[in-house]
C-alpha cells in the first residue's frame, strides 16, 4: 500500500494544563516496561462530514488526558505536561482501490505500518506521547491509527482514551462522562531500580520478527470448547483461554519439528488489575496497571494436551490475581511484588526455556468507537517489538471470535502456519 502524508500538525489541549499538574511522575510499573510505542488502528466505511471534527474534539479531550499532550525524557522519569501537543497526521492511500471488505480481508500485518505516523518506532526521548494518523481511502472510508507511548499507557488506558475521544466527537456539546484519573504514580511511586533488562538484550531477541493474524471464529471456538471440561466452578472456558492453549500447543509442535523435542516452557499473560485490587481505584484510572501472570516452568518431558494447557493457564491466572490484589496497598508489599516479577523476567531470556506471552485486548471495546460516522468495521493492532514470542488477542467484529496477532520469528512462522490444528481452526 502506498500512502502519502499531506498534513502534519500539533493538536494542543483546548485549555492550558494547571501548574500543579505540569510534572507527571511515572509509576514503578511505567518504568518497568520497555519504552516503545503501541497502536490500535480503527477502520471505517464512512468519514466525517467536517474534516475538522476530529481535531476539535481531540483538543477538548486532551484537557482531561493532559499527559498525552506533554513530552517525556527517559532520564528524568517525568512527563513535562507542557501542552506541546499530540501529533495529528492526515494521509491518503493512493493505490487502495479495493472496497473496505476486500481491504480488511487482504490486509497484511506488515502493511499496517503505512497507516501509522512516521515516528511510530522508536520511542526515543523527547517525543510526542500521542500520535494519530487519519488515512483516507479512495472508496470513501478511512483508518484512524492511535499511537501511544507505553511509558504512560497500556491497552486499557488506550481504550478509555478512544472511548472518550469518540464520544467527544459525536456529542461535542455534551460533557463527557469518561473522566480519567492519573493517580497510579502516587500509589506505586518509582525509585531507581535496575532489573537487568537492557535495550541491547531486547533488540537482539527481536530480530527477524514477523506478525500474522490468525482468526478463530465462533464455530471454531465452539468445536474447541466441546473437547474441554468446564472450569472447576462450572463456567465455560473463556474464548481467550481456549485460543491461548491452541497457540501454545502449536508452538510446542513447532519446537518438536525444529529440534525433535520441546524445551522447558513458560506461559505468561498480561492481567489488567483494575477492579481486582483490594485498595479501591477510580473506574477510568489511566497508566500502566497490567501485570504478568506466569505459569510454573513446565518440563520438556511433560505431556501437555489441550485440556492440560487450559488448566495450567487458568490455575496460574487465578493464583496470581489473588497475589496481586495487594498491589496498591499503602506499604512496601505492592512494590516488592513488582520488583520480584521484574527480576523473574530474566528467566525468559534463558535459551533453554521457550517463553510465550499473551495480552488480551478483547475487553477494551474498540469496536464501540463511533465518531459520528458509524462503528469500526475492523480494528487492528499496530506491530510491536516484543521481548519474547507474543500474541495480542482481540475481538472480532461480531464479538464471538478472537483474532490473534502473533509475533514470531519469520522462519518459525512458516512452520507454525502448517500446524494441523492451526489450519483446522483458523481462517
Query: Residues with catalytic annotation?
Result: 150, 370
**Residue listed under C-alpha cell 521457550:** 354
Nearest alpha-carbon partner for 404 in 417, 414, 415: 417
Cα 95 to the center of its chain, rounded Å:
29
Tallying the residues shown for the chain, one arrives at 427
| Measured distance CA(318)–CA(171) in Å, rounded | 40
Instruction: Supply 293's cell numbers.
Output: 501472570
Residue pair 404/213 in contact by the 8 Å Cβ criterion: yes
Partners of residue 147 on adjacent β-strands: 39, 131
Gap between the terminal Cα atoms of the chain: 22
Nearest alpha-carbon partner for 58 in 137, 134, 138: 134
Residue pair 164/180 in contact by the 8 Å Cβ criterion: yes
CB atoms within 10 A of CB 279: 12
DSSP string, 171-201: -TTS--S---B--HHHHSB------S--HHH
Q: Own/partner pairs for 408-411, CB < 8 Å, 24+ apart?
A: 408/209, 408/210, 408/212, 409/208, 409/209, 409/210, 410/208, 410/209, 410/210, 411/208
Amino acid at each position: 500500500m502506498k500512502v502519502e502524508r499531506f498534513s502534519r500538525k500539533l493538536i494542543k489541549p483546548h485549555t492550558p494544563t494547571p501548574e500543579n499538574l505540569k510534572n507527571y511522575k511515572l509509576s514503578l510499573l511505567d518504568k518497568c516496561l520497555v519504552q516503545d510505542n503501541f497502536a490500535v488502528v480503527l477502520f471505517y466505511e464512512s468519514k466525517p462530514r467536517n474534516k475538522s471534527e476530529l481535531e476539535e474534539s481531540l483538543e477538548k479531550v486532551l484537557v482531561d488526558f493532559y499527559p498525552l499532550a506533554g513530552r517525556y525524557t527517559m532520564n528524568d522519569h517525568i512527563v513535562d505536561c507542557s501542552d506541546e501537543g499530540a501529533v495529528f497526521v492526515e494521509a491518503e492511500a493512493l493505490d487502495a482501490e479495493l472496497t473496505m471488505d476486500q481491504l480488511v480481508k487482504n490486509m497484511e500485518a506488515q502493511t499496517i505500518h503505512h497507516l501509522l505516523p512516521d515516528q511510530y518506532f522508536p520511542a526515543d526521548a523527547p517525543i510526542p506521547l500521542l500520535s494519530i494518523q487519519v488515512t483516507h481511502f479512495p472508496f470513501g472510508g478511512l483508518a484512524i491509527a492511535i499511537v501511544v507511548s507505553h511509558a504512560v499507557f497500556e491497552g486499557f488506558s488506550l481504550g478509555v482514551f478512544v472511548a472518550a475521544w469518540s464520544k467527544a466527537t459525536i456529542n461535542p456539546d455534551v460533557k463527557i462522562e469518561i473522566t480519567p484519573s492519573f493517580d497510579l504514580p502516587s500509589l506505586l511511586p518509582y525509585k531507581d531500580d535496575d532489573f537487568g533488562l537492557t535495550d541491547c538484550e531486547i533488540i537482539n531477541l527481536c530480530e527477524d520478527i514477523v506478525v500474522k493474524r490468525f482468526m478463530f471464529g465462533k464455530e471454531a471456538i465452539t468445536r474447541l470448547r466441546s473437547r474441554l471440561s468446564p472450569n472447576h466452578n462450572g463456567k465455560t472456558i473463556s474464548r481467550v483461554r481456549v485460543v491461548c492453549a491452541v497457540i501454545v500447543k502449536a508452538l510446542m509442535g513447532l519446537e518438536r519439528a525444529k529440534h525433535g523435542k520441546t524445551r522447558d516452557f513458560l506461559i505468561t499473560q498480561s492481567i489488567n488489575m483494575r477492579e481486582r485490587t483490594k485498595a479501591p481505584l477510580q473506574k477510568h484510572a489511566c497508566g500502566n496497571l497490567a501485570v504478568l501472570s506466569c505459569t510454573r516452568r513446565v518440563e520438556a518431558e511433560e505431556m501437555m494436551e489441550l485440556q492440560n494447557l487450559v488448566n495450567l493457564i487458568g490455575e496460574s491466572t487465578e493464583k496470581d490475581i489473588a497475589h496481586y490484589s495487594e498491589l496498591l496497598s499503602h506499604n512496601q508489599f505492592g512494590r516488592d511484588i513488582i520488583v520480584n516479577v521484574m527480576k523473574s523476567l530474566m528467566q525468559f531470556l534463558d535459551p533453554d526455556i521457550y517463553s510465550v506471552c499473551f495480552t488480551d485486548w478483547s475487553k477494551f471495546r474498540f469496536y464501540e468507537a463511533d465518531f459520528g460516522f458509524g462503528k469500526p468495521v475492523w480494528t487492528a493492532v499496530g506491530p510491536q517489538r516484543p521481548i519474547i514470542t507474543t500474541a495480542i488477542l482481540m475481538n472480532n467484529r461480531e464479538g464471538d471470535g478472537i483474532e490473534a496477532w502473533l509475533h514470531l520469528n519469520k522462519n518459525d512462522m512458516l512452520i507454525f502456519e502448517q500446524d494441523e490444528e492451526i489450519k483446522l481452526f483458523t481462517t
